[in-house]
Amino acid sequence: MATQNSTFAETTEICERCDESTPHDVTIEIQTESKKQENTEFSREPYRVTECMECGETTAKRMNDA
């Protein structure tokens, strides 16, 4: 069974709510942007989602913005 060292798993970023550098949980999620039911498979985009481990503030940023 694989184990993960928490020092490598934590990402430290600036939290706007805490106004300091805090540990964050960072994930990549595929989100559907279309509100229509038809052709939703063509409106999926990857987002970088971060959650502050201190205050719980969550932000999502679209990764394909060019």
Q: Tell me, what's the pLDDT at 4?
A: 45
Q: Tell me, what's the pLDDT at 42?
A: 76
* pTM of the shown model: 0.71
* Strand ranges (E), 1-66: 11-15, 20-32, 44-52, 58-62
Kindly report, residue by residue over 8-50, the tens digit of the pLDDT: 556 899 999 999 999 999 999 998 887 777 777 778 899 999 9
Other beta carbons less than 10 A from residue 15's beta carbon: 21
Q: Tell me, what's the pLDDT at 12?
A: 92
Q: Tell me, what's the pLDDT at 9?
A: 58
